[in-house]
Amino acid sequence: MTAPYSDCPEVRQAIIDACLHLNAKGINQGTSGNVSVRAGASMLITPSGIPYSDMTPDMIQSVPLDATPTARGPLKPSSEWRFHQALLTAKPDSHAIVHAHPVHCTALAQNRQPIPAVHYMVAAFGGHDVPLAGYALFGGEELAKNVVNAMTGRHACLMANHGATVVGETLDKALWRMEELETLARGYVLSLSAGTPHVLDRFQIEEALAAFADYGPRD
Ligand SMILES: [Zn+2]
């Protein structure tokens, strides 16, 4: 399924499938993660507090990109709709967002440690590091600002004392990035525990960034 997406049952089901995939891979636990895609002038986003295994396409929430959601029915959009909305607005080439609390990303975020260029895969996230967004209470405007700021020129960030967020040109690419980010974070945590990780220099990452221009799942 390629972006741009429209609001249809297949896209809504793809969001549910993405959530189930995150749980199956151990990247998400419980209902802490959330997924959105751009659909025209709105976004489709997972509802708040519904276990993914119970989610049906009609439960996926449609929220305008330029307004506060209005209550329709008993379900609410994810409590994190603000940063999904802010990222889709700030990044017109990104059409999908995945947010979760993967264990190793969250461990680093608890230490308030961004991920430096300890592996060439850091280039998959658009730059020389995976930055850290400053802490703010979940669900609020301030967190949305912090995430958008941290992800300027990047496809991912860790979120202080919270978790991680990635964007993708497609939903598949966002999922791929989240899996790669947790793998990168796991490797970094392990290398920190074994010694002092070597950080690639600027030229080495520039080379990797050039190579990554055409890497990852097809759009
Ligand atoms: Zn969260």
CATH number at residue 137: 3.40.225.10
Residue from 21, 198, 174, 22 nearest 88 by CA: 174
Of residues 129 and 69, the one with the higher pLDDT is: 129
- Average pLDDT for 10-38: 94
Q: How far is the CA of 164 from the centre of ligand 1 (A)?
A: 8
DSSP-derived 3-state class of residue 198: coil
Domain hosting 33: range is: 9-212
Q: How would residue 2 be classed by pLDDT, with cut points 50, 70 and 90?
A: confident
Residue-level pLDDT at 203: 96
Q: How far is the CA of 49 from the centre of ligand 1 (A)?
A: 12
Q: Is 32 within the bounds of a domain? A: yes
Give the model confidence (pLDDT) of 81-121 as tens digits: 999 999 999 999 999 999 999 999 999 999 999 999 999 99
Give the model confidence (pLDDT) of 112-164 as tens digits: 999 999 999 999 999 999 999 999 999 999 999 999 999 999 999 999 999 99
Q: Is 3 within the bounds of a domain? A: no
Q: Is 4 within the bounds of a domain? A: no
Q: Indicate the residue type of 107.
A: A
Q: H helices of 2-136, where?
A: 9-24, 81-90, 103-110
Residue-level pLDDT at 218: 56
Q: Is 28 within the bounds of a domain? A: yes
Q: Is 1 within the bounds of a domain? A: no
Catalytic residue among 10, 80, 182, 207: 80
Residue 197 has pLDDT above 70, yes or no: yes
How far is it, in rounded angstroms, from Cα 124 to Cα 85?
23
Contacts of 112 (CB under 8 A, 6+ apart): 132, 135, 160, 161
Neighbours of 150 (CB within 10 A): 21
The pTM of the full predicted model, rounded to 2 decimals, is 0.95
Residue 28 has pLDDT above 60, yes or no: yes
Q: Is 74 within the bounds of a domain? A: yes
- As a whole-number percent, the residues of the chain with pLDDT over 90 amount to 89
Residue-level pLDDT at 72: 75
Number of folded domains in the chain? Answer: 1
Of residues 179 and 74, the one with the higher pLDDT is: 179
Residue 172 has pLDDT above 90, yes or no: yes
Q: Is 134 within the bounds of a domain? A: yes
Q: How far is the CA of 162 from the centre of ligand 1 (A)?
A: 6
Contacts within 8 Å (CB) and 24+ apart, 131-139: 131/157, 131/158, 132/157, 132/158, 132/159, 132/160, 133/157, 133/158, 133/159, 133/160, 133/165, 134/160, 135/159, 135/160, 135/161, 135/162, 138/79, 138/80, 138/162, 139/79, 139/80, 139/82
- Average pLDDT for 178-193: 98
Residue-level pLDDT at 74: 86
169 included as an active-site residue? no
Residue 61 has pLDDT above 90, yes or no: yes
Pairing of strands 132-133, 96-100: unpaired
Q: How far is the CA of 129 from the centre of ligand 1 (A)?
A: 21
Q: Is 2 within the bounds of a domain? A: no
